[in-house]
Structure 1
Amino acid sequence: MIGTAVVTIICLLAVFLALHRLMTMRTAGPYAHHLSASLLCFGLGKLARTPVVSDEWIDGWFHSWSGVWNVTDYSGMTLGAVGAIFLVHAVAGIFGRPFRKLLLVGSIGAVVVGMAVTFALSPVPHAPTAFMSQDFDMTGWFAIYWLIYLLCLGSSSATVAGLAGRAAAVFRPGVPRIAVASVSASGLFGSAYVAHKVVNLTVEYFNVWPWYSAHAPQISLATLACAILSGATGLLLMLGAAVGRRVGRYRLLRDRIQEWQDSHAHAPDVFLDEALIPSGSSWSLWRSTRDPVVAHRMLVELADSKA
């Protein structure tokens, strides 16, 4: 129960952080948006599969007017697969091996359509379940549904682990290396989750190792929690480094904003645009630090005014 509560809190924080980044980082590159979209999908996907809340409350309410069961399981698994695709494209782009945008759109479309069709054709929408791999036979469309999900997660996790691990090997010891290594560890834990699911499904299909099946939910939760914690650690370290650079720009602007404004008053021809000079308020200066060019422009114009 405590583990579920901790994971839920982490997922809520991840969702809020991702939404904030998507709404405020309008000038960021595509890989930053892919990373935020991945974080949002993972957070929402895990929240959709929160025990009791999803199985009893949301699924029961949804079935009362639609007649469909287990929509939260489908939503959570699909969001997890889509988040994995976004993460692969973000990591590949950040580490210098970008994929084409068409591949991103095509992969997401294929996974969403494939999982929707196989879910609808399987017996899962017609009966309630708390742990679908135990309550339904792994045959037919249900097996294909799981195959799509696990192939997507497995290939994505392995790719992220490999790309991030290779990048971490060339970093110097320090915070950036720890951050990248954390992302690689997240990919490894994701691969461990996929391996666990394959073993669990095999065990249940052949009806062996009942002790493994009995503890499968706890193992799933543990591996997912480790993957989320590792990924969150890496993202927080990267975010902390970015915030540190932004604080440095803020201090530079705060210390020299008055000099910048005075220089503009005495030599207006040197400056590009008065409207681009922030006011002296703390909030205006902090907002200006979002663009690193502002501080650089200030230093250049101050140097030109003294030439």
Structure 2
Amino acid sequence: MVDVKIAIGALIPILLLLLAAHRIRSDSRNRNREFTGILNPFTQLLLCLGLGKLFRVPHITDDLINPVLRQLTGVANIMSLAGMTFGALAAIPIVAFSSYITGRRVPVRAQIVAAALIVIAMTVTFLRTPMADTPTSFMSNQFAVTGPVIAYWTAFIAPLAISTLVSSSLMIREALWVRRGPFARALAGMAATFTLGFIYCCHKVLNLALKYNNSDSFLHHNAVTISNSIGLAAMVAAASSAATYAWYIWKDRIIRYQLLRRYGGAWMDARTASPDVVLDQTYEFRPTRRVCWAAARSHEAAYRLQIELADHQHQTRRSSILTSQEAL
């Protein structure tokens, strides 16, 4: 069972980081450099979540890496600090992502300043707590809630609570405006994700308050289970939203691929027979499966095919009519 937890704990961040790397590599070919690659909010979110989870792999980080780092630096739970810092940094792409979807922009300079403030706040407050001296695998329940501990949790929870609340409000308003269709369902899934994220933050605050008041309650004793359940529910909501969006994106791509495969050969023949109908002589295309699938990623090739084939057919019919009239 422990091995399964370790495998799952390592697999999830690796998949997130691989997806982020793929997006960065794919966006590197994009001519429009604004909000692509590492500047894309969704890519940034994948990186923050992937790195945050990678630094919190069960047993590996707590039992193997943290002790080594403590011997080198004299500070305990460094991997936990790193993971939670990346978790707090996720607040920035969360706001940037929801703003981007709803037609807004968060300036890059503002994002850099916010990231620097979060890192400084997390590091400084952590070093002032007992967490920096005593190794543990779950910091929420292992330490008395004192002033420094409250300051550290505030540095972690505040950015996430603000970002998820703002993003949830933006998504709900946008979903109510769109009302129906796949985009509305995707927005509803994202709204649920951000709402669950805000609930997670509220649960953390409630757990700290119960501990501060020495309350022997069900919520406090099951804090880990409740946190994991909320996190899992948020992942399910995010996955459903992504699946809804991806299905319609891939559905359109498959349609374009079938179009290119079916008429790609005729299109190339038309370009050769009627070079004056070609929109761009430098555009290269071959009706192979690989080229068609790559070209189907955007509307460009399918658009060119339909326009140039239509113009070629029109030109062919016109030439036939003129030939018939001359014969008469």
TM-score with structure 2 length normalisation? 0.84
Check whether the contact 2:183–2:245 (CA below 8 A) recurs between aligned residues.
Answer: yes
**Aligned positions of 1:280-295 closer than 5 A:** 280-295=287-302
Equivalent of residue 263 in structure 1, options 259, 263, 270: 270
Letter in 2 for 1:30: F
Letter in 2 for 1:80: G
> Residues 8 and 215 (structure 1 numbering): CA distance in 2 closer, same or farther, change over 3 Å?
farther
> Distance between the aligned counterparts of 1:62 and 1:112, measured in 2?
19
With 39-48 and 217-226 compared, the bigger mean Cα shift is at 39-48
Aligned-residue Cα RMSD (Å) equals 2.5
**Aligned positions of 1:191-202 closer than 5 A:** 191-202=198-209
Q: Which residue of 1 aligns with 2:153?
A: 146
Q: Which residue of 2 aligns with 1:19?
A: 21
**Aligned positions of 1:222-233 closer than 5 A:** 222-233=229-240
With 263-272 and 24-33 compared, the bigger mean Cα shift is at 24-33
Residues 1:188 and 2:195 aligned together: yes
> Distance between the aligned counterparts of 1:218 and 1:7, measured in 2?
16
Check whether the contact 1:31–1:93 (CA below 8 A) recurs between aligned residues.
Answer: no
Q: Offset of 1:197 from its aligned partner?
A: 0.5
With 258-267 and 186-195 compared, the bigger mean Cα shift is at 258-267
Letter in 2 for 1:68: V
Paired residues in the alignment total 307
SS at 2:119 equivalent: helix
> Distance between the aligned counterparts of 1:303 and 1:53, measured in 2?
62
Q: Which residue of 2 aligns with 1:30?
A: 35
Gaps of 5+ in 2: 316-328
> Distance between the aligned counterparts of 1:204 and 1:10, measured in 2?
31
Q: Offset of 1:223 from its aligned partner?
A: 1.0
**Aligned positions of 1:121-132 closer than 5 A:** 121-132=128-139
With 288-297 and 5-14 compared, the bigger mean Cα shift is at 5-14
> Once the two structures are superposed, what CA deviation does each residue of 1:166-199 show, in whole Å capped at 9, x if it has no partner?
1222334343222211111111111111011001
Residues 1:106 and 2:120 aligned together: no
Equivalent of residue 78 in structure 1, options 81, 85, 105: 85
Q: Among the aligned pairs, what percent are the same residue?
A: 31
**Aligned positions of 1:134-283 closer than 5 A:** 134-283=141-290
Q: Offset of 1:272 from its aligned partner?
A: 4.1
> Once the two structures are superposed, what CA deviation does each residue of 1:200-234 show, in whole Å capped at 9, x if it has no partner?
11111121134432211111111111112211221
> Distance between the aligned counterparts of 2:77 and 2:172, measured in 1?
36
Check whether the contact 1:278–1:284 (CA below 8 A) recurs between aligned residues.
Answer: yes
> Once the two structures are superposed, what CA deviation does each residue of 1:64-103 show, in whole Å capped at 9, x if it has no partner?
4333321221122111121221021111111123322322
> Distance between the aligned counterparts of 1:42 and 1:80, measured in 2?
6
Q: Which residue of 1 aligns with 2:326?
A: none
Letter in 2 for 1:181: A
Check whether the contact 2:9–2:57 (CA below 8 A) recurs between aligned residues.
Answer: no
> Once the two structures are superposed, what CA deviation does each residue of 1:134-167 show, in whole Å capped at 9, x if it has no partner?
2333334432221121110101111121111112
With 85-94 and 211-220 compared, the bigger mean Cα shift is at 211-220
Check whether the contact 2:91–2:164 (CA below 8 A) recurs between aligned residues.
Answer: yes
> Distance between the aligned counterparts of 2:41 and 2:162, measured in 1?
17
